[in-house]
Structure 1
Amino acid sequence: MSHLSSTGLSPEFGQKLIAIRRQLHQYPELSYEEFETTASIRTWLQEADIRIANYPLKTGLVAEIGGKQGGPIIAIRADIDALPIQEETGFAYASVIPGKMHACGHDFHTAAILGAAFLLKQQENELDGTVRFIFQPAEEKAGGAEKVISSGALEGVRAIFGMHNKPDLPVGTIGIKSGPLMAAADGFVVEIEGVGTHAAVPEAGIDPIVTGAHIVTALQSIVSRNISSLHSAVISVTKMHSGTAWNVIPDKAILDGTVRTFDENVRSVVLNRFDQVVQGVAAAYGTKASVRWIKGPPSVLNDAELAEVAVQAAGHAGLQVITPTPSSAGEDFAFYLKKIPGVFVFMGTSGTQEWHHPAFDLDERALPISANYFAILAKHALKQLNSY
């Protein structure tokens, strides 16, 4: 496969990145708990003589490689946290922490972006500006990006780039598109208040379970009757809890779930109609209802000009560019794109399972390919920004 050998990198470089990824994989840490992960990243960067920037982050860190004085600053971001999942891969380097696993490939992202930093450090004097590397905590909690922004790490940055591994894309391919790539991800909790009674005499109470069942059904009409067929939206009720005994009608029911959208106007319509439907159905059945929103990240919206730069860099890296299908998964990289333009890409990793699966794995040949790509992309982006 020519694209695997076109990086011109030594086998030793690839093995180094694999060793880093496997160490991270063995010792996963959850969101906001990434203290040892941060310490390891710091050590690897310091061993490469890469400067650690001083930003007030409890976990995660920022590093910089600077070339031309007064040149533009770009950022490359990797997420570093794991998930509360019991690993089922059976690999020798499987997680040694019970109930915790890198089941989304953030260990891959971290190792690959470290690799890009190692490569750019060797070319530091040739850079037309500064590359700021953000090793971000708590992506899975959708709050880490905002912590980084609050720390000041985005100040002066003119463009930002990031990636997610994509198991269904083969190694050697990369998914790049302008516009929406990943969905806004909002969570909801609906609490329905009725009146409890004996199950044999339902007329003596007000059944919140019946209300909940009708709410679940009614919510599905929002997408089919309020959203254009040219747009996308998903409403999923994923949990329903009510009652403690088979012969008692309870006084409360709780529904949990998520809404996924790609367009801010569609997001607004769905959330507003959601509240109206819940209140209307609840009133029709004589119950009271409240909706609590858990606002997640907005949609990942890639900048068109920078997406073209990303495509050009992929050509120089020997990668096959495909136009990816947008994912309904959420990604807090979107918070950066609310502040500055940037591009998020899907890196092909020939995986056998989807994200968040206990047997998730990926093809490690994609590590040096990804590192090489982001090093090339950084140089292209700096040159492009210098031309403005």
Structure 2
Amino acid sequence: MSFAGQLINWRRELHQHPELSLQEFETTRRIRHWLESAGLRLLPLTLPTGVVAEVGSGEKVVALRADIDALPIDEAVDVPFASRNPGVMHACGHDVHTSVMLGAALLLKEKEPQLAGRVRILFQPAEENFGGAKRLIQAGALDEVNAIFGMHNEPGLPVGTFATRSGAFYANVDRFSLKVTGKGAHAARPHEGNDAVLLASQLVVALQSIASRNINTLESVVLSVTRIQGGNTWNVLPEAVELEGTLRTHQITVRDQVKRRVNDIAAGLAQAFDAEIAVRWFEGPAALVNHDRWATFARDVADWHGYRTEEADLHMGGEDFAVYLHHIPGAFVSIGSNSEYGLHHPAFNPDEQLIEGAARYFALLAEKALLQH
């Protein structure tokens, strides 16, 4: 079987057996088996799921990272290797990322005697719930690592296209919840209560003014209310309404300014309506910020490799790889996957032809990065 065919077969096997964050036990077993069969050494880290392999020797260490978890989505792609796990799908392409880094590991193993150091390949669990990077770091996966590189497939780019950027790339991901508490009443006698639905509606509208009226329009910021829940029948005003949403920015100062403004608006409306509004914030990863040197280097290697290179647009989505870049330098890149449907869509279907080229690129990137220290 050809090298490309092997990687595609691995991708399809992973695609048929997707597992959610922190449940990637069979995925981990498969990756371990494939790596060990190829003679890769595995680091003895304490990880319930996920694998860290290493090739080469010496003091210099460069890391490559793939993510291995799937999403709670019913697949809508008519392919022979569709998910066999109902309600779970590799709708973000982590099966592709894993096969790419498996391929890079095999290529690096072939060149092991010539490597100017060690390459560590991280197969990270739980990217989708933004917890996997911290787990790997706590287990020691970044110990001695000098630089780290990772990828995400980009459905909006053709196969053979590469994109990255220096500085901020992906956004921070914060979740917020607001509980509006008024006083319930019969819908025919609203004056006897304190309408939490009305206050929640005012709150949603007021929150949308933050990005348009409180933040410089040249800054990137998205604040979305994504869930409203209250009441259980048509003729009763509920006592409480819950709202939930997300905040995305690329700058810490903007992030802090928006959060203060949300808190101020909630406090002001609560006072005006003689009600209570409780605000809770759940911080996800901060913005992913590429290091200038390594982003430029990654793009130079992509040019040499034969990719069509572009300057990547800012992403408002989040990426757990950001956590690594807060500890060590490195760069995150996009590789074109040419899917009609985007990430997290039930019909997402990346072009598998990207896999071999990306595997060869990352093997070359790691090899050359070892020579840069």
For the criterion TM > 0.5, the same-fold answer is yes
Describe the SS at the equivalent of 1:325: coil
Is the 8 Å Cα contact of residues 80 and 136 (structure 1) preserved in structure 2? yes
User: Hey, what does 1:43 align to over in structure 2?
Assistant: 33
Q: Return 91-100 or 266-275, whichever deviates more.
A: 266-275
Deviations along 1:115-143, one digit per CA (max 9) or x if unpaired, are 00000000011111111110000000111
Aligned to 2:154, which of 166, 171, 178? 166
Q: Whole-Å Cα distance in 1 between the matches of residues 280 and 102 of structure 2?
A: 39
What SS does the aligned partner of 2:147 have? Answer: strand
How far has the Cα of 1:19 moved from its partner?
Answer: 0.1
2:106 counterpart of 1:118: yes
Match of 1:109 in 2: 97
2:333 aligns with: 345
- 1:179 counterpart letter in structure 2: G
Identify the match of residue 69 of structure 2 among 81, 87, 93: 81
Is there any run of 5+ residues in structure 1 with no aligned partner, and where? Answer: 1-10
- 2:87 corresponds to which letter in structure 1? G
Aligned residue for 1:201?
Answer: 189
2:278 counterpart of 1:297: no
Q: Which residue of 1 aligns with 2:43?
A: 53
> Pairwise mapping of residues 305-344 of structure 1 onto structure 2 (< 5 A)?
305-344=293-332
1:316–1:376 CA contact under 8 A, matched in 2: no
For 1:193 and 1:302, the matched residues in 2 are separated by: 43
**Aligned-partner Cα distance in 2 for 1:341–1:211:** 46
Distance 1:162 1:301 in 2: 13
- Taking only aligned residues, the RMSD between alpha carbons, in angstroms, comes to 0.9
Give yes or no for contact 1:309–1:380 (8 Å, CA) kept in 2.
Answer: no
Residue 286 of structure 1, CA deviation: 1.3
Structure 1 CA distance for aligned equivalents of residues 325 and 214 of structure 2: 28
Aligned residues: 373
Q: Deviations over 1:305-341 (max 9, x none)?
A: 0011101110221111101111111111111111111
1:131-142 equivalences under 5 Å are 131-142=119-130
Q: Where do 4+ consecutive residues of structure 1 move more than 2 Å?
A: none
Alignment-derived partner of residue 165 in structure 2 = 177
Give the alignment partner of residue 228 of structure 2, picking from 240, 255, 275: 240
Does structure 2 conserve the Cα–Cα contact (< 8 Å) formed by 1:73 and 1:130? yes
Alignment of 1:355-370 (within 5 A): 355-370=343-358
What corresponds to 1:7 in structure 2? none
User: Is the counterpart of residue 63 in structure 1 residue 58 in structure 2?
Assistant: no
Q: 1:92 aligns with which of 72, 80, 84?
A: 80
1-side partners of 2:16 and 2:206: how far apart? Answer: 45
Q: Deviations over 1:9-51 (max 9, x none)?
A: xx80100000000000000000000000000000110111000
In structure 2, the partner of 1:3 is none
Instruction: Say which of 202, 215, 221 aligns to 1:227.
Output: 215
Show the counterpart of 1:271: 259
Find out whether 1:282 has 2:282 as its counterpart.
no
The Cα of 1:368 is off from its aligned counterpart by 0.3
What is the DSSP-based 3-state SS (H/G/I as helix, E as strand, rest coil) of the residue aligned with 1:380?
helix
Q: Among the aligned pairs, what percent are the same residue?
A: 48
Q: TM-score, normalised by structure 1?
A: 0.95
One-letter amino acid of the structure 2 residue matched with residue 117 of structure 1 = A
| Residue identity in the other structure for 2:71 | L
Aligned ranges 1:208-223 → 2 under 5 Å? 208-223=196-211
Distance in 2 between residues matched to 1:254 and 1:160, nearest whole Å:
41
**Is residue 27 of structure 1 aligned with residue 17 of structure 2?**
yes
Residue identity in the other structure for 2:330: G
State whether residues 163 and 299 of structure 2, in contact with CA within 8 Å, keep that contact through their aligned partners in structure 1. no
Where do 5+ consecutive residues of structure 2 fail to align? none
Partner Cα separation in structure 1 for residue 354 and residue 291 of structure 2: 25
